[in-house]
């Protein structure tokens, strides 16, 4: 592989000049520029990015730290994040934490060692202190502090819409279902919005927010089914939770949407084998992804952002469950 020195030799100029040509920085006589370009061409020279990163003390690499790329919501998010990064000449490093705090911390160390330019994080840790000011960071759906800007959908408004749509679909007594065992999460605002709107409209409602729905799902849902037998609407905190509820409800002989209307949150169903098609509050995943990237890149350039939390509007998408 030819280096900048080889180019300089062949063109009969100094390495500094070649550098200026490559980066379009500083003044270079047209004649010199042509000579250099010819040499570059002839040697098939491309700058060594690693050397550049080293000298510059930073790389054009952004890390995406999330629980699991396998989850459809995250994989869609990752798709758009990569796309936006690529447009800006950045690369994406993918880190699955499995939602394990210790692995998140391990990744943060690694990322620091590798001098990544920034991190988009979907984390379960109280990372407030772990990361702090070292690396520019954007968080999706988690609001830690002013250093870590948060991009999220308008969860509160989403909750309000969900309640209204359940009522519109005929539900007399809807329930909220779901929990995030995590203080910093913005997603519990979905519940707040739901409750807020129910109070405004004077609609009776229930809220089921047992902790830790991840282990012993069977019990989790059967408890819910037993406790609130008179409900006729469910707003689940995620599509995944909605789908699980529907499955368990079906087993218990409850028909959706005849007996119970169901609305989820996310809108991840873009494949032909998703059935039933959920009624859901659709997160603008693409816009969230691109916003997160753009904000992050601003941060890496030293700009300070004007807000701590950026909320992207959501829309309701009617499916087969209301």
Partner DNA sequence: ATAAAAAGTGGAAACGATTCAAACTAAGTA
Partner DNA sequence: TACTTAGTTTGAATCGTTTCCACTTTTTAT
Query: Which of 55, 215, 255, 271 lies at the binding interface for DNA (CB under 7 A)?
Result: 55
Residue ranges in 73-132 that form contacts with a copy of itself under rule CB under 8 A: 75-76, 78-79, 82-83, 86, 91-96, 109-110, 112-115
Q: What is the DSSP string of 47-115?
A: --HHHHHHHHT--SEEEEEES-TTSHHHHHHHHHHHHHHHHTT-EEEEEE-TT-HHHHHHHHHHHHHTT
Instruction: Select from 281, 284, 288 the least CA-distant residue to 317.
Output: 281
Residue 286, both tokens: 């693409």
Element (H, E) at 319: none
Chain centroid offset of residue 259 CA: 34
Residues 269, 239 contacting (CB under 8 angstroms):
yes
Query: Which of 84, 208, 239, 322 lies at the binding interface for a copy of itself (CB under 8 A)?
Result: 239
Residues 194, 233 contacting (CB under 8 angstroms):
no
Query: Which of 271, 301, 304, 306 lies at the binding interface for a copy of itself (CB under 8 A)?
Result: 271
Residue 20, SS3? Answer: helix
47 touches DNA (CB under 7 A): yes
40 touches DNA (CB under 7 A): no
Residue 51 CB contacts under 8 Å (≥ 6 apart), including other chains: none
54 touches a copy of itself (CB under 8 A): yes
Contact flags string 127-166 toward DNA, x per CB under 7 A:
----------------------------------------
Length of the chain: 322
5 touches DNA (CB under 7 A): yes
Residues 185, 238 contacting (CB under 8 angstroms):
no
Stretch that binds DNA, among 22-30, 178-186, 222-230, 243-251 (CB under 7 A): 22-30
User: Residue 152 — φ and ψ, nearest 5°?
Assistant: -150, 165
CB of residue 144 to DNA, shortest distance in Å: 29
Residue 274 contact partner, candidates DNA, a copy of itself, none, CB within 5 to 8 A by sort of partner: a copy of itself
Size of the site for DNA (CB under 7 A): 32
244 touches a copy of itself (CB under 8 A): yes
Query: Which of 24, 31, 133, 202 lies at the binding interface for DNA (CB under 7 A)?
Result: 31
Of 25 and 202, the one with the shorter C-beta distance to DNA is 25
Distance in angstroms between the alpha carbons of the first and the last residue of the chain: 62
Return d(Cα 212, Cα 273) in angstroms, integer. Answer: 28
Residues that bind DNA (CB under 7 A): 1, 3-5, 12-20, 22-23, 25-29, 31-32, 45-48, 51-52, 54-57
Residues that bind a copy of itself (CB under 8 A): 46-51, 53-54, 57, 59, 61, 64, 68-72, 75-76, 78-79, 82-83, 86, 91-96, 109-110, 112-115, 239-240, 242-244, 246-247, 269, 271-276, 278
């Amino acid at each position: 592989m030819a280096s900048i020195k080889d180019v300089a030799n062949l063109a009969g100029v100094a390495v500094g000049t070649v550098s200026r040509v490559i980066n379009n920085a500083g003044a270079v006589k047209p004649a010199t520029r042509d000579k250099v370009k010819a040499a570059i061409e002839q040697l098939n020279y491309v700058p060594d990015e690693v050397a550049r990163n080293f000298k510059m003390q930073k790389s054009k690499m952004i890390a995406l730290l999330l629980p699991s790329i396998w989850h459809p919501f995250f994989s869609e998010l990752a798709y758009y994040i990569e796309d936006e990064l690529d447009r800006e000449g950045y690369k994406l490093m993918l880190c699955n934490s499995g939602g394990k705090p210790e692995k998140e911390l391990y990744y943060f160390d690694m990322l620091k060692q590798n001098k990544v330019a920034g991190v988009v994080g979907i984390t379960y840790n109280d990372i407030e202190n772990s990361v702090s000011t070292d690396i520019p960071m954007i968080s999706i759906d988690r609001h830690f502090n002013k250093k870590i800007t948060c991009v999220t959908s308008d969860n509160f408004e989403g909750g309000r819409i969900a309640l209204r749509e359940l009522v519109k679909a005929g539900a007399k007594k809807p329930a909220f279902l779901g929990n995030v065992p995590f203080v910093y999460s913005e997603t519990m605002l979905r519940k707040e919005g739901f409750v807020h709107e129910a109070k405004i409209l004077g609609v009776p409602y229930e809220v089921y927010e047992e902790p830790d729905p991840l282990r012993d799902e069977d019990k989790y849902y059967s408890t819910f089914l037993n406790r609130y037998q008179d409900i006729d609407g469910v707003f689940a905190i995620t599509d995944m939770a909605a789908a699980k509820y529907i499955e368990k409800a079906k087993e218990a002989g409850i028909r959706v949407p005849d007996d119970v209307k169901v609305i989820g949150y996310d809108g991840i169903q873009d494949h032909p084998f998703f059935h039933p098609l959920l009624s859901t509050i659709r997160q603008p995943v693409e816009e969230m992804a691109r916003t997160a990237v753009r904000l992050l890149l601003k941060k890496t350039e030293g700009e300070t952002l004007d807000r701590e939390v950026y909320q992207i509007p959501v829309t309701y998408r009617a499916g087969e469950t209301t």
